[in-house]
Amino acid sequence: MNYQFQFQPYQRPFKIPLKTAHGIWKTREGIILNLTDEQGNIGWGEIAPLSWFGSETMEDALIFCQQLPSCISIETIFTIPDYLPACQFGFESAFTELNPNSFVDLSRLHYSELLPTGETVLTTWETLFQQRAKTFKWKIGVDDITEEINIFQKLIHSITTTLSPTQAQKIHLRLDANEGLTFEQAKKWLEHCDLINANQGLIEIEFLEQPLSIDQLDLMLELCDRYSTLLALDESVANLQQLNSCYQQGWLDIFVIKPAIFGSPKKLKNFCQNHEIDAVFSSVFETNIGQKSALKIASELLFYNRAVGFGINHWFTG
């Protein structure tokens, strides 16, 4: 079977630039592609690289698309090299759209909403809460730690005083440091988290995500031993090789999986079906096209029913 192949690069500005410990991000760039089969059915896919996470660059992805002929085979789709993980995802998900083997129900998923950095978090969380959000993620390691912990305390206070005591469901708060903390700073954050969690109140700090750089797995494993708040790996497990390696080295807490940059969905499914990992599936600010494919993968592989990190639509207009 051969497929007609078309692609179109896109650029999408953030409403407010996203600040992380890796820097400021203003525009999401990617590629929308489609495959048309011999019956004229069309399958859509998206390539949304994240090179600061170790995926290919937007340029690498473009060059790959440009050198392909306008008619490609299944063989081409399933032999994209591992150094182009976002391309593997884009082509494979377009192919899957053409050959769905089962209906995937996305309605049972619940979402984690990404909060802005800095003081604005204090009003944004409440707007999202009124729209029924129960899980939130806040980026840390961006500003001075004393200032951030200060805002964090205010956020906890704001949540505590806003919730009614009869609130049925806990609020889950995730902290994402994007490798931006030192070991000492991570300990400080985890002490705060453990204190809040020991309270067993209406707020649970669900996990601290990627406090240290990817070459400090040993120290992050030590933090897992020392504190009761869970830790999550994200940058450390951006692709299958890394996931395998961290799993082999004994990581038992959470793995954040970003399907759009992880590589072949088929290989990801295979891994998750053989290892019952505690996974959080998360977005890389792809458009609805990539999001739909990623969410289908998430709902098939979700084992502990954690909220998916796809509450990002309020970051874009339209």
Query: Active-site positions?
Result: 139, 258
* Contact between 239 and ligand OSB per CB under 6 A: no
Q: Which residue among 113, 148, 176, 286 contacts Mg ion (CB under 5 A)? A: 176
String of contacts with ligand OSB for each residue 50-69, x by CB under 6 A: x-------------------
Residues 110-129 contacting ligand OSB, CB under 6 A: 112, 114
Which of ligand OSB, Mg ion, none binds 285 (CB below 5-8 Å, type-dependent)? Answer: ligand OSB
Q: Is there binding between residue 234 and ligand OSB (CB under 6 A)?
A: yes
Nearer to Mg ion among residue 258 and residue 296 (C-beta): 258
Total residues in contact with Mg ion, by rule CB under 5 A:
3
Q: Which is nearer to ligand OSB, 50 or 193 (CB)?
A: 50
Six-digit token string for 287: 């458009």
CB of 139 to Mg ion, least distance (A): 8
Q: Does 312 bind ligand OSB (CB under 6 A)?
A: yes
Q: Which tokens hold the place of 37? A: 């089969």
Segment near Mg ion (CB under 5 A), from 40-48, 52-60, 203-211, 273-281? 203-211
Stretch near ligand OSB under the rule CB under 6 A, chosen from 67-75, 84-92, 154-162, 279-287: 279-287
Size of the site for ligand OSB (CB under 6 A): 13
Q: Which is nearer to ligand OSB, 97 or 234 (CB)?
A: 234
3-state secondary structure the chain: CEEEEEEEEEEEEEEEEEEECCEEEEEEEEEEEEEECCCCCEEEEEECCCHHHCCCCHHHHHHHHHHCCCEEEHHHHCCCCCCCHHHHHHHHHHHHHHCCCCCCCCCCCCEEEEECCCCCHHHHHHHHHHCCCCEEEEECCCCCHHHHHHHHHHHHHHHHHHCCCCCCCCEEEEEECCCCCCHHHHHHHHHHHHHHHHCCCCEEEEEEECCCCHHHHHHHHHHHHHCCCCEEECHHHCCHHHHHHHHHCCCCCEEEECHHHHCCHHHHHHHHHHCCCEEEEECCCCCHHHHHHHHHHHHHHCCCCCCEEEECHHHCCC
Judged by CB under 6 A, the residue of 46, 97, 148, 176 near ligand OSB is 176
**Between residues 34 and 229, which has the closer beta carbon with respect to ligand OSB?**
229
Rounded Cα–Cα distance for residues 294 and 292 (Å): 5
Binding residues for Mg(2+), as ranges, are 176, 209, 234
Q: State the residues that interact with ligand OSB by CB under 6 A.
A: 50, 112, 114, 137, 176, 178, 234, 282-285, 309, 312
Q: State the residues that interact with Mg ion by CB under 5 A.
A: 176, 209, 234
